[in-house]
Amino acid sequence: MRNIYGLTIEDLEGYFLSIGEKKFKAVQLFTWLYEKRIKSFDEITDMKKTVIERLKEDFRLDKLNLAKVERDIEVNKYLFDLEDGSCVESVLMRHDYGTSICISSQVGCNMGCKFCESGRLKKVRDLSSYEMVLQILMVEEDIKTRISHVVIMGIGEPFDNYKNVTDFIKIINHPKGLSIGSRHITVSTSGLVPKILEFADFPYQVNLAISLHAPNNEIRNKIMPINKAYPIEKVIDALKIYYKKTNRRITFEYIMLQGINDTVDCANELVRLLRGLNCYVNLIPYNETNNIEYKRSKKDSIMKFYDIIKKNNMNVTIRREFGTNISAACGQLRSKREDL
């Protein structure tokens, strides 16, 4: 039986038509699920008893099991148990402009980036769209506030789970769903070229971020194995097509790893690589982890790097750090619960 929180409005319209009902019932049901937040189909008052019985037969309305919450001043970290015994983490951040949540898209990740804690656990499976929707619903329930921004930057490679991730976006973006504006949703990918091209035709104005992390193939091959399949120039070509079709500015994420990708030469090479693209570079001070030997770049190398990009009139920021106290920062999430 499918979990109801994984169905898009189109899926539900198809469902209602298939049981001989009008398709506007889909919007009604979305309102019950996401506005009224029902706990049982019996709470629905504007559908016939027979329809409600059908819904009960055909769909589950289960939530995830919240195993643990860690709270810090600006950040909460949530650990959820999934039905098959896997776990998933989500991180809530409070900003002056609202609250954002970082969603995981898979259990583990197969991309194997050398610096990433999440990538050390091979992919166990993709998350279903309902498991992503419920990360948001349950966190909203906990904080009793609506979440305004969503980043798909937790564990997993979202473009390796394309259908479920795009269904998830459709559900949370729908005005009768969670109504999170598409410009407030960001998907981050390690650069799966065919999916970047497919995403260029996805008719939602969602932000795209690329985990670039190196200005050339030599360095990128060393830290991101995916670069051997889709080298930098292929990624950039795909992004040019993406930009032509969507007109949306692209974000490049660049983790600062001491002695690996943080030299003045690297900064100049990055400027040459990205020149002419409408983009935004986000420098990320690396979060060191116990199991990985990479070190965070020194503050002055980060500043020098930043200055070079800035001087070349490109948009650049240094990412503010969130959640390091409770290991909720980028790359520190896990999908195991052994130290619960």
* Residues contacting residue 276 through CB under 8 Å, at least 6 positions apart: none
Least distance in Å: CB of 75 to ligand SAH? 15
- List interacting residues with ligand SF4 (CB under 6 A): 109, 111-113, 116, 118-119, 155-157, 190, 211
The entry of ligand SAH, ligand SF4, none that residue 153 binds, CB within 5 to 8 Å by partner kind: ligand SAH
Nearer to ligand SAH, 21 or 198 (CB): 198
Please answer whether residues 25 and 19 qualify as being in contact, where contact means their C-beta atoms are separated by less than 8 angstroms.
no
Give the integer Cα–Cα distance in Å for 239 and 277. Answer: 9
Least distance in Å: CB of 223 to ligand SAH? 9
Active centre residues (catalytic): 89, 330
Least distance in Å: CB of 191 to ligand SAH? 8
Of 26, 88, 284, 316, the residue at the interface with ligand SAH (CB under 6 A) is 284
Please answer whether residues 165 and 105 qualify as being in contact, where contact means their C-beta atoms are separated by less than 8 angstroms.
yes
Of 199, 238, 330, 334, the residue at the interface with ligand SAH (CB under 6 A) is 330
The entry of ligand SF4, ligand SAH, none that residue 287 binds, CB within 5 to 8 Å by partner kind: ligand SAH
For position 135 contacting ligand SAH by CB under 6 A, the verdict is no
How far is residue 22 from each of residues 15, 49, 300, measured CA to CA in Å?
A: 10, 15, 63
The entry of ligand SF4, ligand SAH, none that residue 250 binds, CB within 5 to 8 Å by partner kind: none
Name residue, tokens 């090479």.
269
The entry of ligand SF4, ligand SAH, none that residue 330 binds, CB within 5 to 8 Å by partner kind: ligand SAH
Encoded one letter per residue, x for contact with ligand SAH by CB under 6 A and - for no contact, window 185-224 reads ---xxx--------------------x-------------
Residue facing ligand SAH at closest CB distance: 331
For position 327 contacting ligand SAH by CB under 6 A, the verdict is no
Nearer to ligand SAH, 86 or 227 (CB): 227
Subset of residues 57 to 116 that bind ligand SAH, contact rule: CB under 6 A: 109, 115-116
Least distance in Å: CB of 293 to ligand SAH? 12
Least distance in Å: CB of 256 to ligand SAH? 9
Nearer to ligand SAH, 86 or 211 (CB): 211
Nearer to ligand SF4, 8 or 90 (CB): 90
Size of the site for ligand SAH (CB under 6 A): 17
Nearer to ligand SF4, 116 or 219 (CB): 116
3-state secondary structure labels for all residues of the chain: CEEHHHCCHHHHHHHHHHCCCCCCHHHHHHHHHHHCCCCCHHHCCCCCHHHHHHHHHHEECCCCEEEEEEECCCEEEEEEECCCCCEEEEEEEEECCEEEEECCCEECCCCCCCCCCHHHCCCCEECCHHHHHHHHHHHHHHHCCCCCEEEECCCCCHHHHHHHHHHHHHHHHCCCCCCCCHHHEEEEECCCHHHHHHHCCCCCCCEEEEECCCCCHHHHHHHCCHHHHCCHHHHHHHHHHHHHHHCCCEEEEEEEECCCCCCHHHHHHHHHHHCCCCEEEEEEECCCCCCCCCCECCHHHHHHHHHHHHHCCCEEEECCCCCCCCCCCCCCCCCCCCCC
Nearer to ligand SF4, 54 or 334 (CB): 334
Binding region for ligand SAH (CB under 6 A): 109, 115-116, 153, 157, 188-190, 211, 253, 255, 284, 286-287, 289, 330-331
